[in-house]
A and B are shown apart, each in its own frame.
Chain A
Amino acid sequence: MNKKKFLLVITILLSLLLMGCEQEKETDGDDELPNVVLQNIIFKDNQTNYQFDLDSFRLNDIKLELIYSDGTKEFVDVTRSMISDSDFKALLTTGQYFIKVNYLDKQLEALIEMSSTSGSFSKLPDVALYALSRTELGKTIYDIYSTGVGNYVSFELVLNHNIDKDKIIMVEVIQGISSHKIETDSIKVMYSFGKPIHGDNHLISIILDETITNELSFNVSQSIFLGFTNKEVFVLPKVGFFIR
């Protein structure tokens, strides 16, 4: 394991430890106040039906409302870890479906109506790229994953950004021959695997040395994924790009 990957794993472990530890509200000092306990978890405003646009939908568009025994409320964004793989993949398609959100020992179910102005995408494409962002220790980390029903043997991924390129660190996660180039307004990553890649894969992570509000974005027109069938290399026609 190289140094970069080691750091990444540590980062992920730390973030897992920090999540979901708010079962009991803590109090300051030594005051003998009665314990405040979490009484209920619902979707914010008790909403159970959601309508989203496939391209602009973000997981934090769904929020949990935590109701405590003292009547106070707290709101928590839904994160990837609260959703099963299959429900998460559903959120990369259009249609009406239920998803389950697991938080602490509570499971909530929401009816999602996902649509797209570009048409119907009821099934996962050959390759679906999605980016999940998080903030850690003053840094913003984008993890970029792939899933989908097809395979690919190489790709060139271009992401646009608008921050100082010196504050960007590229971490090549998946095994393969890779190179990248960070330019003033874009990040180009090229991977070749020399074999077909299937299933769910964490491809890269991009660490931005500051907490930013402007997201990275996929440059769809310049990104390309290549498939391999019958000893022929070809450009995969159905690749989805999502920020979640």
Chain B
Amino acid sequence: MLFKPLKAASRNEAYAINTNPGENADVEMRVSWHMDKELVNGKIIYTEVSDINWENAITLYPESYESTAFYGLRFRHYNAVLSNLTPNTKYMYKVGETSLSEPYYFKTSGSESFSFVWAGDWHTYMPIPTRLEGAMAIVEKAKTVEPNIDFFFSTGDIVAYGSDYEAWLTMFNQNPFKEYMWVNMIGNHDALNNVTGPNNDNYFQATHNYPKNGYETQEGKSYYFKYNNVLFFALNNENMNSLTPISVVQDWMASVIENNPTQYIFVSMHYQWFNGVSGNASQYNNWKSFFDEHQVDLALAGNNHVYVRTKRLFNDQVSPDKGTVYIQVPSSDNDRGQVMNDTFSNGDKIASRWTEGLNTIGAIIVTVTESSIRTRLIDRNGRVIDQANIYNQKPIVPVDKATFKESFKVYPSIISEDSVVVTSSVDAVGKIEKLEYYHADVLLGTNYYVKKQDISYTLNNAGSYDRVKVKIYYKDKTVEEINLSVINQDFYKVNNLATIINNSLMYLKWDYHGVSSIEASIFINGVYFNDVDLSEQLVLLEDASVTDDIEIRVNKDSLKGYYNSKYAIYGDVNLNGLIDEEDISLLQKHLLGIENVNIEALEFLDIDSDGDISLVDLTYLHLFINDYVESVDRKKEHTITYLDMFGQLISTETVMTGSSGTYPNVSVPEGYILSGWDTDIRLVKQDLIVQAMIERGETGE
């Protein structure tokens, strides 16, 4: 597509059309457009670019509302959300009601690398059309430097006055907005009101459709999205400080970062980090600590009209391999640039500055690969003025496919009998393309696995299924399938699990209160041993040792046992399954050095857990035999480690053998409930690691 001379906004049926990223740009895009307020049946038709005859086009009728954001104007603002898109794919769409627009284009994320062109501060102002022309020209020029531009990015001040509706219309009618997904944020000019009334940031909201995932009051104004392996934040400076403390914003961001693991983090806002004229710090001081703590890689800003790129900074010092590069875009309107001082402060931190003075046009191309970020400042002629390579500061940890596959579990929903919940490891979040869940060959759901809470996925209308198939689509384009058994509710109706010895044979026994005859798998020291019908309540553990850890798992493919047991041989010196006076006598002889006892038994004779087997332990045993003490197991301490659903430590608890633990309180993501824990903590006989499980749903309070 060729750049065309700037023309005034034409009023087709749909206007002010622009494409914004969905929260997960792999599979979701958002489209904003306006139509006359009477046109309530607006639609969007979209398909892949390869579908040149639009034969597979999908039509959506998105929500709309009548906007009053602009003084004296009424129009219908349409907000479309295109979901379940294919990653790394070019799409086209048209909008309108009876007369559709010309095609607009975007590309979903998901390629091995991506690039975006970043221009800002062009202050579209209809009396001075060269401002917008200059900005659009350098976007076109950037394409000659980097042909594979994936989207268009700006850090605000793209109109001179936010209240100037015609400026918005004219701008959105330019080619870059037709060709690319568009990322923008609110600059001070974008909120300026030159008509009547106070400044406000609703102009931005009324002209865009960004993810409604910002902090309170900022839905659609401050937001985040993921593009490939980058978590982007776009923040509204006009709201911060005076209306919302930065600490509140940072708390929200920290939560988002925690829940959305990515290789890189980019934070963008309008106001500059450093004053490019003087070198003085501006926003830098407000954010450097947060960026250090959260390993922000790139900080993007504008406003100052002077290009500034810092060295990589961490702990307020230059760092070779970690920290943040602060960078701000020069103006691009050839009209409102600034001259910079020859001398400047923070010379130790600032790597490069650039401006063309009042008539500045510049842009930055950012290219992101798995291992590095490359920034290139170009001038109006496409010359690269400055560039930097920023290498990843977080190690690249590939998905352990085998472990990931083993982590899957399917169990009945606690909310609905018609649903089942599939859970899997958090370690693969952000590292796979998607999961597809099937029963037979019927697709039950797709999970893009970008947020931590995506480890739990509810399949509705699947309550009657006993098996679910999962297709794992890795980013390396390989696909694997696993078949999972749905955990029968009766599996959780086992109690009083114990390992015993009778006639020198070792058995695992339990009580079963279920009604179904269901099979589960016995594991010995983590190795599959045999399947067993739970209703049998007893199994012979052939060749098992008294020191072995015995588990009951859902099936042989399960990664972890829900029920755990170990032979409670405390005091059974001769390992005959009984604790009696013969054991006391044997232990006496052992202590006196007359006769040694079985080394396996010794491990379980330190009744008082003092690290030594002594007369005290012997005495406890004898008193136990005579019912003077209730249990000798009580003296053995076990640690239960409680993890949240993401594997993060909540707390630990020390319990005595045979005692029960107490599940701790756990904070679950909004919109989810705690559905249970993956390990039984009754009759604890060894150290346990216990993890919370979640399910999408409300508590009903």
The residues of A with any CB-CB pair to B shorter than 8 Å are 153-156, 177-181, 188, 190, 192-195, 224, 226, 228, 231, 233, 235
Q: Which of A155, A181, A194 has the most CB of B within 10 A?
A: A194
Q: Report the Cα distance A178→B589, complex, angstroms.
A: 9
Judge whether A188 and B592 touch: CB under 8 Å.
Answer: yes
Known pairs A194-B626, A194-B628; A233 contacts B588 (CB<8 A): no
Instruction: Specify which chain A residues have a CB less than 8 angstroms from the CB of B592 in the assembled complex.
Output: 179-181, 188, 190
| Residue in chain A with minimal CB distance to B618 | A192
* Segment 585-624 of B: residues with Cβ below 8 Å from A: 585, 588-589, 591-594, 608, 615-616, 618-620, 622-623
Q: Is the CB of B629 within 8 A of A177?
A: no
Closest 8 CB pairs of A and B: A194-B622, A179-B588, A194-B626, A154-B619, A192-B622, A181-B592, A177-B584, A190-B588
Given known contacts A178-B588, A192-B584, A228 and B623 CB-to-CB distance under 8 angstroms: yes
CB distance from A46 to the nearest CB of B (A): 50
| Contact A153-B593, Cβ < 8 Å, known A177-B585, A192-B584 | no
Does B591 lie within 8 Å of A190, measured CB to CB? Answer: yes
Residue of A whose beta carbon sits closest to that of B590 = A179
- The closest CB in chain A to the CB of B583 belongs to A177
Contact A181 B593 (CB under 8 A): yes
Are A195 and B628 closer than 8 Å at their CB atoms? Answer: yes
Residues of A within 8 A of B616 (CB): 226, 233, 235
Given A224-B615, A233-B619: A192 in contact with B626 (beta carbons within 8 A): no
Complex CA gap A195/B629 in Å reads 10
Is there a chain A Cβ closer than 8 Å to B538's Cβ? no
Asked if residues B628 and A228 are in contact (CB atoms below 8 Å), the reply is yes
Shortest Cβ distance from residue A41 to the other chain B in the assembled complex, whole angstroms: 47
Residue of A with least CB distance to B616: A233
A177 and B626: CB pair below 8 A?
no
Residue of chain A at shortest CB distance from B586: A179
* Interface of A, helix, strand, loop or mixed by DSSP: strand
Residues on B with C-beta less than 8 A from A154 are: 615, 618-619, 622
Q: Known interface pairs A177-B581, A179-B588, A181-B592. Does A190 touch B623 (Cβ–Cβ under 8 Å)?
A: no
Which residues of chain A have C-beta atoms less than 8 A from B591's C-beta? 156, 190
Residue of A whose beta carbon sits closest to that of B588 = A179
Q: With the chains together, A226 CA to B614 CA distance in Å?
A: 11
Inter-chain CA distance A190–B622, complex, in Å, is 13
Question: Quick one: which of B581, B615, B616, B625 has the most chain A CB within 10 A?
Answer: B615
- A179 pairs with B585, CB closer than 8 A: yes
- Apart from A192-B584, A194-B628, list 14 A-B contacts with CB within 8 A: A153-B623, A154-B622, A177-B581, A177-B585, A178-B588, A179-B588, A179-B589, A179-B594, A180-B592, A190-B615, A194-B622, A194-B626, A228-B619, A228-B623
Report A-chain residues with C-beta under 8 Å of the C-beta of B630. 231
A233 partner residues in chain B, CB cutoff 8 A: 608, 616, 619-620, 623
Chain A min CB distance to B552 (Å): 33
Give the size of the chain B interface in residues (CB under 8 angstroms). 22
10 contacts between A and B (CB under 8 A): A154-B619, A177-B581, A177-B622, A179-B585, A190-B591, A194-B622, A194-B626, A226-B616, A226-B619, A233-B616
Residues of A within 8 A of B628 (CB): 194-195, 228, 231
Q: Which residue of A lies closest to B625 (CB)?
A: A194
| A226 and B615 in contact, given A193-B622, A195-B623, A231-B628 (Cβ under 8 angstroms) | yes
Write the chain B residue with the least CB distance to A226.
Answer: B619
Contact partner of A194 (CB less than 8 A), chosen from B593, B594, B608, B623, is B623
Q: Do the beta carbons of B626 and A195 come within 8 Å of each other? A: yes
Contact partner of B615 (CB less than 8 A), chosen from A156, A194, A231, is A156
- Chain B residue at minimum C-beta to C-beta distance from A190: B588
Q: Give bound CA distance, A180 to B593, whole Å.
A: 10
**CB-CB nearest in chain B for A234:** B616
**Which residues of B have CB within 8 Å of A231?**
628-630
A189–B28 alpha-carbon span in the complex (Å): 81
Residues of B near A228 (CB, < 8 A) are 619, 623, 628
- Measured in the bound complex, the distance between the Cα atoms of B586 and A177 in whole Å is 10
Q: Chain A contacts of B625 at CB under 8 A?
A: 194
Say how far A26's CB is from chain B's closest CB, in angstroms: 50
B666 CB → nearest A CB, Å: 35
On chain B, the residues within 8 Å of A156 by CB distance are 591, 615
Tell me whether A177 and B619 are in contact (CB under 8 A): no
Contacts of B629 in A (CB 8 A): 231
With CB as the reference atom, state the residue of chain A lying closest to B617. A233
Q: A154-B618, A156-B615 are in contact. Are A177 and B588 (CB under 8 A)?
A: yes
A166 and B628 alpha carbons, distance in the complex (Å): 39
B581 proximity list for chain A (CB < 8 A): 177, 194
Task: Tell me, rounded to whole Å, the shortest Cβ–Cβ distance linking B142 to chain A.
Answer: 79
Q: What separation, in Å, do the CA atoms of A127 and B514 have in the docked complex? A: 57
Whose C-beta in chain A lies nearest to the C-beta of B624? A194
Complex Cα–Cα for A72 and B478 (A): 118
CA of A114 to CA of B682, assembled, Å = 60
A48 to B594, CA, bound (A): 51
Closest-CB distance, A42 to chain B (whole angstroms): 48
Report Cα–Cα, A179/B585, bound state, in Å.
Answer: 7
Interface centre among B585, B588, B618, B629, by most A CB within 10 Å?
Answer: B588
Question: How many angstroms between the C-alpha atoms of A180 and B589 in the bound complex?
Answer: 8
Report how far A180 CA is from B595 CA in the complex, Å.
12
Q: Type the 1/0 row for B513-549, where 1 means its CB is closer than 8 Å to any CB of A.
A: 0000000000000000000000000000000000000
Contact with A along B560-587 (1 / 0, CB 8 A): 0000000000000000000001001100
Do B608 and A192 touch (CB < 8 A)? no
CB of B584 within 8 A of CB of A181, answer no
Q: How far is the CA of A155 from the CA of B608 in the complex (A)?
A: 17
Chain A residues within 8 Å of B584, by CB:
177, 192, 194
State the Cβ distance, A180 to closest chain B Cβ, in Å.
7
Give Cα A214–Cα B630 distance, bound, in whole angstroms.
47
Shortest CB distance B599–A (Å) = 20
Q: In the complex, A154 Cα to B616 Cα: how many Å?
A: 8
Considering only CB atoms, which chain B residue lies closest to A181 in the complex?
B592
Q: In the complex, A235 Cα to B616 Cα: how many Å?
A: 8
Chain B residues contacting A178 (CB-CB under 8 Å) are 588
